[in-house]
A and B are shown apart, each in its own frame.
Chain A
Amino acid sequence: MNFDFSDDQRLLQDAVRTMLAETSTSQAVREVLEGRATHSDAAWRNLIDMGAAAAAIPEQYGGSGLGYLALCLVAEEAGRHLAAVPLASSFYLAAEAILRAGSAAQKQHWLPQIATGKLVATAALGSRERYRKAATAPLRFDGETLSGSSPALSDGGIAGLAVLRVKAGAEDGLSDTLVLVDLSATGVSRKALPSLDPTRPLAEIHFDHTPAEALTCADASTVATRVLDGAAVLIAFEQVGGAARILEITRDYSLERKAFGRQIGSFQALKHKMADIYTTIELARVHAYYGAWALASDAPELPRAAAAARVSATRAFVVAAEEGIELHGGIGFTWEMDCHLFYRRARQLGQCIGSEHAWRAQLADELIKEAA
């Protein structure tokens, strides 16, 4: 029994933590929050240079080949430090889709560029819930070119490559396909969208007969599901990292702040609330660990483990962020305090690949299937 990460993996985590503590400071994150930067470039450069971001990309494609367990711990640190970087878009989603469904040539061409940070990639692989918003032309792929509008894409403003799940084929026989689009090609226009978490900027991309190529998978839905399961585990680590950090910040503040002649952290109402938040986070952490095991060992339990990690980690970060503001009191509701950065990120991470409700439904589906 060794339900833990290795010493080498922990060393990488420590190095990433030290680096992000210097580069992903509150000030750096606020540069993106307030629109003066598209992402934290220093943090991003370092994540690339350390081989941390490309941990799960094999060396033959320019990655560090450290593996998924290493990437999980990198994700935890990115979450802790609210890193404003395109880690999920480029590495958990786009690169994974190419790795799993790309041809040899596609992998050889695109993965090294992603791994070395030469380009940022973004992806939209579909989710269970969708808003029936005013008609925008849906994405259509005719075998050679792509037309229509993308959904809101994280890091869509700076991406050089997109992996999109689109409809392809003739009117009467549309099927799901995954396509690769070079965003420097003709017919691409972008529109920045406001985001509830401006530290993770959104854009919509319009295509007008833009050259695109299909990924060579037999079944787009199977690949998309597999990639989303992996992303759910990695994002769960970001959520656990963020949740643990805001709880620490809140604990520290409750030891400083005095009211009614005592440290507010000495009141049992606050102690018990923080104990409950800690418990929620640790439960999410073990589910995330189990997801990491399933992801790294490509276990058949992955759909269940990923959904359990996603639901519990989403809950944990949302609760820790909401109660973090509440426990700070009025000061927590100010722009200057970082509490709202966690509140916003908890919401963004909790919905970026589908809400906890959709994933809870997946978890139930898996459990009921297994108990058939």
Chain B
Amino acid sequence: MDFRDTPEEAAFRAEVRAWLQANGSARSRPDEMFGEGLDDAAKLAAAKAWQARKAAAGYAAIAWPKEAGGRGGTPMQQVIYQQEEAAYLVPGMIFEISIGMGLPTVMMWAAPELKARFLRPGLAGEEIWCQLFSEPGAGSDTGGVRTRAVRDGEDWVINGQKVWTSGAHFCDYGILLTRSDWDKPKQEGLTMFIVDMKAPGVEVRPIHQMSGESEFNEVFFTDVRIPDRYRLGPECGGWKVMLSMLMQERMSVGGNLPTDLHEHLIALARQCDWDDRLAIDDARVRARIADAYLQQHGVELLIARGLTAISKGKTPGPEMSITKLVAAKALQDISAFALELAGADGIIGHEALGGDWRYMQRLWLGSPGARMGGGTDEILRNVIAERVLGLPGEIRTDRKIPFRELERS
């Protein structure tokens, strides 16, 4: 039982720290974002410049093999880099899908000449990748996708619509799940492709989220042509390719819960009165602060367990599903209680209420999305029940039926 780094881990951490100090700029407040004040184009350019520098120093894909352009390091070194980088103003949600999911899938399934073509520019941030699985009619039930791929000579012709694609508006390539055979049962008629997001017939429309932001998009495909050599895996082997891609997420033991929520709660409780005394002195408020800590520090400790597995060279198991389940709901509950501290004033927007409230208000508005992204609470409960506790799977009436017939019913 030891939270400290091994000597090798400590040496790597020192190296990373020195590099970040020399090359990055540290965050000045917890919710400061990379490129604040820049317009989208300038922010993207700055992000690409950072990624290029990171790649040149060998930190873009630490755990990848050297022959694929990585550092040949360990997953633990990857984690250490991320821990250290978190204190710096670095781009968020731009290259994660490229490097965490898109490019590993290329590495695993694409022909050698495609790997040579795509891996290096991807790592250097010159090209950005997105993931195109979800559709309006296929969310949690990803096997139900209807985007149509029809073979035409050396090409495939794609028609359909994807949704909830993060970053599609600035991405260059995507990993696209399509239906190529409608006479097979749903999961057996799927084929995966690399798609050029700038190709004719690809149209990206931002989704206006309930939080006011637009991080996700709808993507429409109209007679988009994809050469057959861009196919990943065999025809009708798309389901397996997708599972291998989702497996990559296992190593990212995250659960994106900030580690300082209870401290923000305490700070706000020192600025509010309850019954004519400071809220921080009220036993009810104090009990909620304690409960907030139990959730938040619990998530940190669950992650520490996942890291322990990684540090020992193992892959964290499905039990890590509980991390995201706890983290997302904690985000919603803790931020909601923070707003409640101010009573009726708590619903005044932060622009009028003051700076300290901005953080919690943004978390509260974003938290419903956190409960869905990466698997809804309900899907995660099924995963825990079935894969950890060994309870029976859900009854599925659609498993053996040709997809075409499902469409009719």
Contact = CB atoms under 8 A, between A and B. Distances in A.
Nearest to B288: A364
Given A5-B1, A289-B301, A367-B266, A275 B290 contact: no
A266 B388 CA distance: 14
B308 A2 contact: yes
B286 A251 contact: no
A313 B394 CA distance: 31
A268 B395 CA distance: 10
Interface stretch (A123-131, A276-284, A341-349): A276-284
Contacts of A274: 385, 389, 391
Interface string B368-409: 000000000010111011101111111100000000000000
Interface in A266-306: 266, 268, 270-272, 274-276, 278-279, 282-283, 286-287, 289-290, 292-293, 296-297
A289 B289 contact: no
Given A1-B5, A1-B76, A266 B395 contact: yes
Contacts of A297: 1
Nearest to A359: B290
B3 A293 contact: yes
Given A251-B389, A361-B283, A308 B294 contact: yes
Given A266-B392, A361-B286, A283 B298 contact: yes
Interface in A109-156: none
B85 interface: no
Interface string B247-268: 0000000000000001100110
A371 interface: yes
Contacts, number: 142
B304 A3 contact: yes
A5 B305 CA distance: 11
Given A3-B1, A3-B305, A371-B266, A282 B385 contact: no
Given A255-B391, A371-B267, A275 B381 contact: yes
B1 A292 contact: yes
Contacts of B267: 371
A254 interface: yes
Contact of B290 (A6, A283, A289, A363): A363
Contacts of A289: 1, 301, 305
Interface string A330-372: 0000000000000000000000000001001101110110010
B295 to A, nearest CB: 8
Interface residues of B, number: 50
Contacts of B46: none
A265 interface: yes
A78 B65 CA distance: 46
Given A272-B385, A279-B384, A311-B294, A4 B262 contact: no
Contacts of B287: 357, 360-361, 364
B356 to A, nearest CB: 14
Contacts of B266: 367-368, 371
B2 interface: yes
A88 B220 CA distance: 65
Nearest to A299: B3
Given A266-B392, A292-B1, A368 B76 contact: no
Contacts of B322: 278-279, 282-283
Given A265-B391, A278-B389, A69 B289 contact: no
B302 A2 contact: no
A312 interface: yes
29 contacts: A1-B4, A1-B9, A3-B304, A4-B305, A5-B1, A251-B390, A266-B391, A268-B382, A268-B394, A272-B381, A275-B380, A276-B381, A278-B388, A279-B325, A282-B319, A283-B302, A283-B322, A286-B302, A286-B304, A287-B294, A292-B1, A293-B1, A293-B3, A361-B287, A364-B290, A367-B266, A367-B289, A368-B280, A371-B267
Given A271-B382, A363-B290, 10 more contacts: A1-B307, A2-B308, A4-B305, A6-B1, A255-B392, A272-B378, A272-B382, A275-B385, A357-B287, A367-B289
Interface of A: 1-6, 69, 247, 251, 254-255, 263, 265-266, 268, 270-272, 274-276, 278-279, 282-283, 286-287, 289-290, 292-293, 296-297, 307-308, 311-312, 357, 360-361, 363-365, 367-368, 371
